[in-house]
Amino acid sequence: MDLLPVRRAILSVTDKSGLAGFAAFLAARGVELVSTGGTQRMLEAEGLPVTAVSTVTGFPEILGGRVKTLHPKIHAGILANKDEPSHMETLAEKGIRPFDLVCVNLYDFAGAVERRLSLEQAVEEIDIGGPCMLRAAAKNFHSVLVLPSPLWYGPAMEELTAHDMAVGLEFRQVMASRAFEATSRYDALIASYLRP
């Protein structure tokens, strides 16, 4: 699919800079916002309509927040190929709605290292669900726009405005490459930190 209409977005970010404006842009144009924890509270404080991930999954955040988005109702919604009828039939059978936009940036592991946290504390700053969502959305860029950093909110809004709330395939592919770059750097930092 060349032009992908954006109607439903999941937002889960550590770096919240610029998010209020971007989320307001989406909400004003009828995009449903789904979110987690601190991001959800921030959007609610801005007066934006937002659905909790736990409402979508029917399952609460558990293990002190370690498990929030690792659920088929999130990942099937991200990974479904919208051009593959069997994928869309499966979503319909399971009552899962697809996502069109994944806006995620990761726990600040670099900051944990800089603050010289203990190993046990630093490990808690290793993001699991975030990289999973970024990689899933990047893999499925034919059907999903992934935004791995606030740097891309402006270009995304320009793209959405130019195409009446749709995004082109070329932009989605560029953003997919940026997402894989982000997860690659993140994993390399963690690997370096843990190496004896």
Q: What is the pLDDT of residues 147-177, one digit of tens each?
A: 999 999 999 999 999 999 999 999 999 999 9
Give residue limits of the domains in the chain.
4-194
What are the beta bridge partners of residue 32? 8
CA distance 65 to 36: 10
CA distance 144 to 98: 9
CA distance 56 to 99: 12
**What average pLDDT does the segment 30-38 reach?**
93
* In CATH, 4-194 is 3.40.50.1380: yes
Tokens of residue 104, six digits: 């995620």
55: number of CA atoms within 13 Å, CB side?
10
CA distance 53 to 32: 12
CA distance 108 to 131: 12
**pLDDT score of 113:** 64
Tokens of residue 127, six digits: 């993001």
Average pLDDT, the chain: 91
Residue 111's pLDDT band (cuts 50, 70, 90)? low
Tell me the one-letter amino acid at 135: R
Which residue has tokens 């979110």?
Answer: 35
Please determine, for residue 112, whether its predicted confidence score (pLDDT) is greater than 80: no
Eight-state DSSP code of residue 147:
E
Given a contact cutoff of 8 angstroms between Cβ atoms, the answer to whether 120 and 144 are in contact is: no
pTM score, whole prediction: 0.91
Given a contact cutoff of 8 angstroms between Cβ atoms, the answer to whether 16 and 170 are in contact is: no
